[in-house]
Amino acid sequence: MDAEDPLFILYTSGSTGKPKGVLHTTGGYMVGTTTTLKNVFDIHEGDLWWCTADIGWITGHSYVVYGPLCLGTTTLVYEGAPDFPDPGIFWKIVERCGVTQFYTAPTAIRHLMRYGDKYPNEYDLSSLRILGTVGEPINPEAWMWYHKNIGKEKLPIMDTWWQTETGAFMIAPMPVVALKPGSATRPLPGIEADIVDKDGKPVPAGKGGHLIIKTPWPSMLRTLYKNPERYVSAYWKVVPGDFYCAGDVARKDEDGYFWIQGRSDDVLKIAGHRIGTSEVESAFVSHKAVAEAAVIGKPDPVRGEVIKAFLILKEGYELHHELVNELKNHLRHELGTVAVIGEIVQVKSLPKTRSGKIMRRVLRARERGEDVGDTSTLIE
């Protein structure tokens, strides 16, 4: 195969909810996944690597299949839940197989935290050398539980930031780097990342802004399948300047460590998966009882976020227990199990601009008890 021959197309959902066919090519993608796995997780002869990700997502592609197999290391594939037949199944597999590097999602860690330290202490985890997380920023509480109960306060935790579009780790520590719980630390060698404002100008330490990548890297997406115009507009023209805009808001501290704060658009992040607000709202409105809908993310200790929905119901309908369950089942049918509903409330109106755009920032501010800001241009 030629280095630039297409390797695969993986669809991801953007803020509009319309799938984007991310195209990765053969040579650069393999270089990216192989070198980053080797450097971040210190892979050596005789190691047994376990990434718990679903093989169908980019993490499964990059770090269950391509990266470890290119390195010639043993890669463990597990098809199952982290709590079946009991919440000790991960640790049982680590002991039984002698796993040396373990890479999972903060969602799974938060889920297992609910059961305390009983299950990790039932198994011998001494084979482990390095731990890692992927999918979303790990909150410090979960980081400390992971460090204490799985790493026995000795093992480093590689908190990795990257995307379907980047193909491989972009911001992540290496085993020799000093760690800060909740930070993905610094960009990897060869990756030039920065935080800029809406005008493309670098922002001072501690201030939030757009996370950008200044120079190309081997495993970057080459285009969006059959949509090169959207490729340019979605990633290269978001803010002024000739660089890739990740769509995430982040900040750098005084040590140059990156702290990822979330998406810059209205995208919900549930258990490591991104789902567009418009997708959820459209699914609600497709139900016979719903006239209008607006959704925001509500913090959840296990999944990161769950959905809070504000619904205007059609005449003759009232929100009651049976209808709530019916709506939850309807969403699950339309969008799958990733669309986890935390709360549904019935409202008489929604904050909108005069052109009819729902202002979710107002709903979020009210939910958090914050100042809603200037609402003079809104109608309710």
State pLDDT tens for residues 65-99. 999 999 999 999 998 888 899 999 999 999 999 99
CA 94, CA 211: separation in Å to the nearest integer? Answer: 35
Does the pTM exceed 0.75? no
The residues, any chain, with a CB within 8 Å of residue 264's CB and separated by 6 or more, are: 210, 247, 248, 249
Q: What is the DSSP letter of 200?
A: S
Tell me the pLDDT tens digit for each residue of 22-66. Answer: 999 999 999 999 999 999 999 999 999 999 988 888 999 999 999
Query: For 266-330, what is the HEC assignment?
Result: CEEEECCEEEEHHHHHHHHHCCCCEEEEEEEEEEECCCEEEEEEEEEECCCCCCCHHHHHHHHHH
CA distances from 328 to 21, 75, 189, 337 (A): 29, 37, 45, 10
**Is omega for the bond preceding 85 within 30 degrees of 0, making it cis?**
yes
By three-state DSSP, how is residue 259 classified? Answer: strand
Torsion angle, alpha carbons of 277, 279, 303, 308, to 10: 60
CB 186 within 8 A of CB 256: yes
6-263 and 267-379 have identical folds: no
CA distances from 236 to 17, 143, 159, 213, 241 (A): 19, 33, 26, 10, 8
By three-state DSSP, how is residue 22 classified? Answer: strand
By three-state DSSP, how is residue 225 classified? Answer: coil
CB 159 within 8 A of CB 185: yes
As beta bridge partners, residue 159 has 133
CA 100, CA 41: separation in Å to the nearest integer? Answer: 10
| Res 356: pLDDT | 45
Tell me the pLDDT tens digit for each residue of 258-292. Answer: 998 766 766 677 877 757 676 788 788 889 898 87
Tell me the pLDDT tens digit for each residue of 109-143. Answer: 877 877 889 999 999 999 999 999 998 777 677 79
Q: Report the candidate in 241, 157, 373 with the shortest Cα–Cα distance to residue 363.
A: 373
Domain 6-263 sits in which CATH superfamily?
ANL, N-terminal domain (3.40.50.12780)
Q: Model confidence at 367, in pLDDT bands (50, 70, 90)? A: confident
Letter string b/e over residues 93-104, b meaning 16 or more CB atoms within 10 A of that residue's CB: bbbeebbbbbbb
CA 192, CA 173: separation in Å to the nearest integer? Answer: 15
| Res 276: pLDDT | 63
By three-state DSSP, how is residue 10 classified? Answer: strand
Q: In CATH, what number does 267-379 get?
A: 3.30.300.30
Domain boundaries, the chain: 6-263, 267-379
